Structure 1
């Protein structure tokens, strides 16, 4: 992975090219005040009053040039406002004129991410683009966030042949070793007897890809207990209710919730947040063979509730249910779960806006406020209790998936709510974590979503 500390550095007055930022609303006034050579350069490069538009401005000498970039709001820089520059400028060192980059540090770093694990290496890679800042605290925060974001993207982008349940276990083991955490992994007979839903989903996977519950604990047991859970379906065929080819194409990313849980857990530990961390990743492959769970099979959850499998492609909520029950046994005060759970959430909100469900209004308000301040968009969806009737079964306590096309994200969240600790504040993030097309700082492929907002909530609650 790129050494991120080389991409943003303390400003000690060293030589650097200047980046001038212009508010889109002030573009015309700025342009009219420029000398003719700058106006000519701006016109030649089609500089326009729109975000991400930029141009090189000539100086007195051939090598004496600076950069001008248009931003939507110069007084409130977004994480992405400098990201296109980080992708397109020549290698070298840059300084934003007369202001701190602030949140834009994240986009500067995120824009220089590349996933090249499977590609022939470039014989002459491009040199770094370095941004200066005089705020060391923000620099360190940005480096840490970018580092876990790069790892998260790498894990989701990796093919399922190299990112199975055992690989998620290895990633958790590396975290435990790095930060002095305790790792425990349930598999085999322990899962079969103690985690009936997790076993039902993963029992058809081949040797070496057996289902497992990965747990990591860290911190002072006297501190508030926080559980972070991530859906770890390393590949999802849909089971016997098999997905069509188009629906299966990106199912390597169905462990995106686990990637987010690992990233958030690392932020908690490396910043030594005063909490008792409990990270849980139920890791499976939803495969097909003669052992695969059938539609109509009845499974017994760890909580003791019986679940009729009405759709084998609604597997994520099953493994999360057993993980939520395990988390409940330790009495957490706060529970977050991340899951690429439903297509219904994407139909409702699209790819960029993540679905938030919460059982507590105070927690939901904190998360939505953090989402707005961190430019990490999410939208609260309702836990509409009357829809629980859609989860009724004729033969068991409940079904795992409601019949019909309506309210799928809500009924999935209501299913999970049945397994949430009664006294805990809980938030469920139904995430997409994928860029279908490249945007500045966000290349096509895996993406961290809701991570910055949730981390802000944790810091604001516990860092003091």
Structure 2
């Protein structure tokens, strides 16, 4: 199959005329199937011998169309190599969407089919490769179950990734976290059979703007002593999806050679249950000296992020960006398709939103509503890490994290799902990237390439 000529897929907007070059039989076939270019519509065009010579694919209404709509074609087409033809608003994104629509996580089974893109005129192949690699990295890591990607294995993966890009990497593991003042990372991960750790790598010239990325790396979350019900635990292999997306973003930044000094911080833990698990009501010290009352051990992600954010903040970077699968409240607020975005810089937040909208990576700005900060009040510590009521859970989580960022010029937090519960254009059901392209294109525009 790989040696055969790629099959052409004619991609048409709704009610767009059929392409020139179709023979009389193919035109009649398309009309008999009432092809009109509706979103996701796919019609095979036969030759005289009955073999398929091309396809018609409907991209739907042009106004407001998802740039990744071509991913629906990749998901529906049979195994083979294809060439896309059409009037695309952004050929690079159309190519990226098609390739990501063909994604299949086959680490533990034989892939059902292989669909590849041979060509799309006008697409930037290097940029397409970069975007596909970044997304695939995040998906592949997030899809892996915790017995295949525990803290020790995840460290090896991060080390190999960083060193492959020429970055300098170090880790702080187990009780060394206490010696180096990361008490909350240690507390959350100490109940696991595999020690908690903090991965820290840097890349780029020291003289370039300092951009620091922080990702939540909870490889599995039982909920701790406030144990989750069984249905809520089923997808907890994705609780490190924030860090996986940060790694994908880091890949894009380094491969594109953006003019930044990049630092990546990933606290890697398993929130397990044993005799030394941290408890509801415990008072934890934090890296920045604040004491934290534990309201619920199932809100562990913000604790490990807080220590990592404190470290990031100490060198006063130009920008801190963190990503985390942090709260169910964010999914209630904006659903699974949108990432909830918080920022101390409203202008920057709108850049994220605009870049996300343009690049099939939707984000929605949420407010850092100061009045809700009182909901984190503790009577016995400096702060409780969860609110004292059922409302505004994603906002109060962001407000908790904001307490650990004082010196950075800007801080942006993304509370993401990192999972598609149903298939969408360019996103098969399962782990998916969120926030990556929005951040990459924002950084590319602001800082350019070296």
TM bracket, shorter-chain basis = over 0.9
Deviation, structure 1 residue 269: 1.3
> Could you tell me whether the CA contact under 8 Å between 2:99 and 2:117 is conserved in 1?
no
Structure 1 unaligned regions, length at least 5? 1-5, 8-13
In structure 2, which of residues 41, 60, 71 is the aligned counterpart of residue 83 of structure 1?
71
User: What is the RMSD of the two structures over their aligned residues, measured on CA atoms?
Assistant: 2.5
- Which residue of 2 is the match for residue 11 of structure 1? none
Aligned residue-pair number: 444
The 1-side partners of 2:187 and 2:7 are apart by 59
Deviation, structure 1 residue 251: 0.6
Post-superposition CA distance 1:22-67 (Å, at most 9, x none): 321x25x659xx9874465236546355211121234566557332
> Could you tell me whether the CA contact under 8 Å between 1:78 and 1:104 is conserved in 2?
no
- Which residue of 2 is the match for residue 10 of structure 1? none
Deviation, structure 1 residue 17: 4.0
The 2-side partners of 1:334 and 1:97 are apart by 39
The verdict on how the C-alpha distance between 1:242 and 1:225 changes in structure 2, with shifts beyond 3 A counting, is same
Matches for 1:137-152 after TM superposition, within 5 Å: 138-152=124-138
Deviation, structure 1 residue 272: 1.4
In terms of mean alpha carbon deviation, does 184-193 or 76-85 score higher? 76-85
Instruction: Note if 1:418 corresponds to 2:408.
Output: no
The 1-side partners of 2:108 and 2:7 are apart by 35
In structure 1, which of residues 66, 69, 86 is the aligned counterpart of residue 57 of structure 2?
69
> Could you tell me whether the CA contact under 8 Å between 1:220 and 1:275 is conserved in 2?
yes
> Could you tell me whether the CA contact under 8 Å between 1:77 and 1:101 is conserved in 2?
no
- TM-score, normalization: structure 1? 0.89
> Could you tell me whether the CA contact under 8 Å between 1:22 and 1:74 is conserved in 2?
no
Structure 2 unaligned regions, length at least 5? none
In terms of mean alpha carbon deviation, does 67-76 or 261-270 score higher? 67-76
The 2-side partners of 1:85 and 1:53 are apart by 8
The verdict on how the C-alpha distance between 1:135 and 1:97 changes in structure 2, with shifts beyond 3 A counting, is closer
- Which residue of 1 is the match for residue 105 of structure 2? 115
The 2-side partners of 1:295 and 1:282 are apart by 21
The verdict on how the C-alpha distance between 1:325 and 1:22 changes in structure 2, with shifts beyond 3 A counting, is same
Instruction: Note if 1:331 corresponds to 2:320.
Output: no
- TM-score, normalization: structure 2? 0.92
The 1-side partners of 2:248 and 2:406 are apart by 23
The verdict on how the C-alpha distance between 1:457 and 1:251 changes in structure 2, with shifts beyond 3 A counting, is same
- Which residue of 2 is the match for residue 94 of structure 1? 83
> Could you tell me whether the CA contact under 8 Å between 2:222 and 2:233 is conserved in 1?
yes
SS of corresponding position for 1:267 = helix
Matches for 1:55-454 after TM superposition, within 5 Å: 55-58=43-46, 62-63=50-51, 65-74=53-62, 78-90=66-78, 91-97=80-86, 101-119=91-109, 121=110, 126=113, 128-135=115-122, 138-193=124-179, 194-206=181-193, 209-454=194-439
The 1-side partners of 2:298 and 2:338 are apart by 23
The 1-side partners of 2:242 and 2:87 are apart by 40
Deviation, structure 1 residue 362: 1.4
